[in-house]
Structure 1
């Protein structure tokens, strides 16, 4: 049995809002949600929710990520030790991801030091994903993950393998501060990041 963590889960205001706020990926796999199975004793699940780990000392450590960016460069989160990291799982075919993109760009450009943004592009073709990044002027890299496997590294901290966009804020000690399984605005994101920088 997994140890319980202290957190605050904020559900979407209504089921319709959850449907509109996030894209659900479909596949030929059995209709089982590993996140719900793994985390059923840890937090209230449901697309369109926000999970905040309120007990700082009990925050789960985020898995290290490494991979190849859409432009062919190698990147690893281990190079950003001591900085706040914002991870965003996205896909160009996801309408809420397109709506959220300008807010992510605005938030990323707000910081010169101390914060690193990293996208994880899932279930996409390289050409379409690069066109998306160019169109929105993203100033940070995205790891290419066509099979959508990297999301499974984060099931135990509250990420659903079927919901995009999803954004994680990782504190300077490498622990997950919050998980946003819905589009996030620049104002909210900047406020959350500032709280971590000031801590």
Structure 2
């Protein structure tokens, strides 16, 4: 039994070693998963960069864009149905979206996924907000420099002026997200 446990630990170390490089940062062209700790980092007003203009088809066949939410706080969440941490954080996002409805808009970005799997995920979670279908990853690439292209789940809060006000890499926690959303909304 002990030999089996040691073998499993060694296998986990080897697999983890395949997922990154020595610096821990993604390199150009690197599309492997990038883990995060889920901590919400709020940027000072003077440090904020404009969010890129994004637009695309939603899972339900409509079109969504950041521009449609001009003047409002927007929570932008990058996820995929095959991502375990994305599944774990979905109820948090749903609850914060419900509690801030009317003062904060939520927009999901389904990243590198099969549409049927993403639709099944949305039917199960019933988040109550639209999701861009970003199978090729173009929306995620627009945020390169703020969010590593393979860092999912990732959550951004866009302020009323269209600037990136906060970021979390990894599954976000309820209190962290609610506090950051409230802070940015009340500015």
- Length-normalised TM-score, structure 2: 0.79
Partner of 2:88, secondary structure, is: helix
Partner of 1:59: 48
155, 161, 173: which one aligns with 1:167 = 155
Partner of 1:152: 141
Partner of 2:167: 179
Partner of 1:121, secondary structure, is: strand
Instruction: Structure 1: state its 5+ residue gaps.
Output: 1-15, 26-30, 37-45
Q: Is the contact made by 1:34 and 1:155 (CA closer than 8 Å) also made in structure 2? A: no
- Length-normalised TM-score, structure 1: 0.75
CA distance in 2, matches of 1:60, 1:69: 25
Partner of 1:43: none
Count matched residues. 164
CA distance in 1, matches of 2:28, 2:166: 19
Query: Computing the radius of gyration over CA atoms, which structure comes out larger, 1 or 2?
Result: 2
Deviation at 1:159, TM superposition (A): 0.3
170, 181, 185: which one aligns with 1:193 = 181
Deviation at 1:138, TM superposition (A): 1.1
Q: Please, what is the CA RMSD of the aligned residues?
A: 2.7
Partner of 2:90: 101
Partner of 1:6: none
CA distance in 1, matches of 2:183, 2:138: 30
4+ residue stretches of structure 1 with deviation over 6 A? none
